[in-house]
Structure 1
Amino acid sequence: MPAYHSKFDTELKVLPLGNTNMGKLPIRTNFKGPAPQTNQDDIIDEALTYFKPNIFFREFEIKGPADRTMIYLIFYITECLRKLQKSPNKIAGQKDLHALALSHLLPIPGENGFPLNSMYKAPQSKPDEDEMRAYLQQIRQEIGARLCDLAFPDPQDRPSKWWLCFARRRFMDKGLVGQGVNL
């Protein structure tokens, strides 16, 4: 069975993120940043929907820029779930994920610590790098907010075991940060 790919590569013209080969897709958000706005389903909805089946794959054929963005989001969701394991309730989880989204320790494509640099084109200039950082920070903030809504069915209780069971899994046997690194 093949992995689930992003429908945005075929349904709409994906803008490149600077001069990189990542897609700058519209998202539904209240966070400030360079992402175009939309009121429809977005790449974050798609990444959250396809996270559970895609996490089991060791290989992922990239079919376009939206797939590269989705791969980054899957890596980030895994880091979020690792962070949520220690959260006692939804409010603490939201604080933890907000701090994680703003962290400068998370590598972006082109940096030494990024796991799939061979598949991503690094930003060529400082403005492109700044735009990529701002876009990735904006989608990290939004995915953290939406993931908390999914992972905490009861705001006073611990996160759902049906989400946390994926915290130890590694997509394509890689992670956004190395094993043993705590953010």
Structure 2
Amino acid sequence: MPAYHSQYNDGDYQSIGNMFLLPIKTKFRGNAPFADPNTTDIIDEALDLFRANCLFRNFEIKGNADRVLIYLILFIQQCLGSINRNTPQGDAFKILNTLALSNFAIPGDPSFPLNAMYQAPIDKSQADQMKQYMQQLRQELAARLVDTIFVDGLPSKWWMCFSKRKFMNLSL
């Protein structure tokens, strides 16, 4: 059975490196274009496809939007690993927001785990744009993840059971 790919692969979007700069519905500052609030965006897609795709060890990249999807799936995996079953919703929001704002590597950095699949930014301005875009994605994903996985103030066991899974045997 093949993995699920992004529906945004066929679109015409601006690229930084070989990642699309996709529109998102967000309240955080950044350089991502704004998406229509009534449509799904890449973050909704990542949350929907996470549980199915995290079971795969191989993932064929069919476009630049798939690279954004891979990064978001790996970030969801990192977020789930940083909270536990007894973490209250308020504490989880603080933990995930801190994780989203923490220092992270971008493609081209030696500590970035996916350098073989991602193209490094050409210059310093592109690197700054990519860092800002990824920061905005991380913040918005962390906020939506808390709203998605928490039921009655505690994390859903149907989400937390995927906290130990490793998508493509990788982690951020």
TM-score by length of 1: 0.90
The 1-side partners of 2:105 and 2:73 are apart by 14
Aligned to 1:25: 22
Q: Alpha-carbon deviations, 1:36-65, whole Å to 9, x = none? A: 001221000001000001001111110111
* Partner in structure 2 of residue 141 of structure 1: 139
Instruction: Kindly report structure 1 stretches of 4+ aligned residues shifted beyond 6 Å.
Output: none
Q: CA RMSD in A?
A: 1.1
Q: Aligned partners of 2:158, 2:169: CA distance in 1, in Å?
A: 21
Number of paired residues? 170
Query: Which sections of structure 2, spanning at least 5 residues, go unmatched?
Result: none
Residues 163 and 96 (structure 1 numbering): CA distance in 2 closer, same or farther, change over 3 Å?
same
Secondary structure of the residue that 1:9 maps to in structure 2?
coil
**1:5-47 superposed Cα distances (whole Å, 9 cap, x missing partner):** 000112x212202xx0011000000111000001221000001
User: How big is the shift at 1:126?
Assistant: 1.0
Q: Which residue of 2 aligns with 1:53?
A: 52
> Given residue 85 of structure 1, which amino acid in structure 2 is its aligned partner?
N
Alignment partner of 1:131 out of 97, 111, 129: 129
Report what 1:180 is aligned to.
none
Matched, 1:8 2:8: yes
Amino acid at match of 2:80: L
- TM normalised by structure 2 equals 0.95
Identity %: 50
| Equivalent residue letter for 1:75 | L
C-alpha distance 150-16 of structure 1, shift in aligned 2 (>3 A)? same
Q: 1:87 to 1:99 in 2, by over 3 A?
A: farther
Match for residue 96 of structure 1? 95
Q: Distance in 2 between the 1:50 and 1:109 partners?
A: 23
Q: Are the equivalent residues in 1 in contact too, given 2:107–2:115 (CA < 8 A)? A: yes
Match of 1:162 among 158, 161, 167: 158
Distance of 1:26 and 1:115 partners within structure 2: 25
1-side partners of 2:139 and 2:145: how far apart?
10
